[in-house]
Amino acid sequence: MDLTSSSSPFDLIGIGVGPFNLGLACLLEPVPSASAKFFETKDRFDWHPGLLMEDCLLQVPFLADLVSMVDPCSRFSYLNYLHQQGRLYRFYFYENFHTPRADYNRYCRWASEQLSSIEFSSTVVDVALQGSLFCVSVKNSVTGQVSTHLAKNLVLGVGTTPHWPAAARSFQNNGDCLHSADYLFAKRRLQSRKSITVVGGGQSAAEVFLDLLDDQSAHGYKLQWVSRSSGFFPMEYSKLGLEHFSPDYIDYFHSFPQQHRDAMRAKQGNWYKGISFSTIKDIYDRLYKRSMESSPDAVLQARSELKDMERVSDGLRLRFRHLDQDKIFEVSSDAVVLATGYQYAFPACLENLRDAIRMDPGGRPEIRRDYSMVTDEMTGRIFVQNGEIHSHGIGAQDLGLGPYRSATIVNSLLGREHYALSTRNVFQSFGIADTFIPHHELSR
């Protein structure tokens, strides 16, 4: 195995290139005083390729692109992408605030192809300390060559991994049970089965169910949708509710001790775990039209938790517990799609540094307000992208807050305000309003 190295340290090395680290690379591009390099395992940018159905829309407005919320004049904006593609007037006549998810992926790929700071087909396999610097080992998947690079700081953008419920983990990498992250890759195979069960109650589950529902008459499979949620409910999408996805709420949330943050977040699932109004409408409309002619061959079951799975002679048998009735029931299915979300995993390449990273009682990294991990005996900093929902709140996964987080990292890296970040962005007060005088006696 060949080993090469670069001698001059970068100010920042990024591990992984999803939308958030890509946005950071875009915001760093016009900053000549900061040198950066980003490494990504894939051979090109690809964001949730297994769920890029053409009819699915982003759940955030087009302004939630890589840069616009902090630098609307950037050449990496979505509007400039449309302009460069000759599609700006078509988008204008489209009159839709939300863009197709597949086009967002194409936009991100367009931006990535303009950046020399990104290296694809490059996997960070190890990070070690070398004096005050990080020594980053990177393997090129095409050549097999390993190179080493020095960095003053790191930023993690490795994203989240598909979550498999305990009852289904023994079926991982099995042909008839898959995570929704791989749905499109397995769609043709799924549709050859006599029955398909979708497990999960969020947006991905709804989109997979709707896509399968649209093709059901052509293939003739039975379709079942089982959710742990209380029902098939929409996400909170009122204008004042959306203010929780703001820098102001991050300030408020981060000000509390971790135990209090966890208690607050436990009550906020309706802000980011539900289904869009439009998707619910589309599903209902399809079912209603089918009901005009005959009863739809589809079952929607809520309040039911997957407890066990087993293979039987005619397919799979799933056991669920109804959470209200506390009764066990069984579902037979030839194929299962688990739309059970994603979870953050500590990057394996940082294993050598784990002991120097402070963890909270829940085993999660302690993260400062500027998105850097709290560490011991390190001069450089490790910033985190989309791994801080426990410390910064529900906006961690929101595309609209991505540019703000990246700009915060840029400013912290430079030690000055390169990107101006507004401090009052919402109408409501999350704490006690400045015009009110707290009565200290009442809090005793």
Task: Tell me how far the alpha carbon of residue 196 is from its chain's centroid.
Answer: 26
CATH number of 3-160+344-414: 3.50.50.60
Each residue's pLDDT tens digit, 19-51: 999 999 999 999 999 999 999 999 999 999 999
* Phi then psi dihedrals of residue 186, to 5 deg: -110, 5
What is the Cβ-side half-sphere exposure of residue 185, based on CA atoms within 13 angstroms?
12
Q: Is the dihedral of CA 325, 331, 336, 337 positive or negative?
A: negative
Q: What is the pLDDT along the chain (444 residues), one digit of tens a residue?
A: 455 666 689 999 999 999 999 999 999 999 999 999 999 999 999 999 999 998 899 989 999 999 999 999 999 999 999 999 999 999 999 999 999 999 999 999 999 999 999 999 999 999 999 999 999 999 999 999 999 999 999 999 998 899 999 999 999 878 899 999 999 999 999 999 999 999 999 999 999 999 999 999 999 999 999 999 999 999 888 999 999 999 999 999 999 999 999 999 999 888 888 899 999 999 999 999 999 988 888 999 999 999 999 999 889 999 999 999 999 999 999 999 999 999 988 999 999 999 999 999 999 999 999 999 999 988 999 999 999 999 999 999 999 999 999 999 999 999 999 999 988 999 999 999 988 977 765 554
pLDDT for the residue 1: 47
CB 68 within 8 A of CB 402: no
In total, the chain counts a number of residues equal to: 444
pLDDT for the residue 126: 97
pLDDT for the residue 296: 82
Each residue's pLDDT tens digit, 292-321: 988 888 999 999 999 999 999 889 999 999
pLDDT for the residue 318: 97
Q: Which residues contact 195 (CB under 8 A, 6 or more apart)?
A: 221, 222, 223, 224, 315, 332, 333, 334, 335
Indicate the domain borders of the chain.
3-160+344-414, 163-235+273-341
How is domain 163-235+273-341 classified at the CATH fold level?
FAD/NAD(P)-binding domain (3.50.50)
> Same CATH topology for 3-160+344-414 and 163-235+273-341?
yes
Rounded to an integer, what distance in angstroms lies between the CA atom of residue 329 and that of residue 272? 29
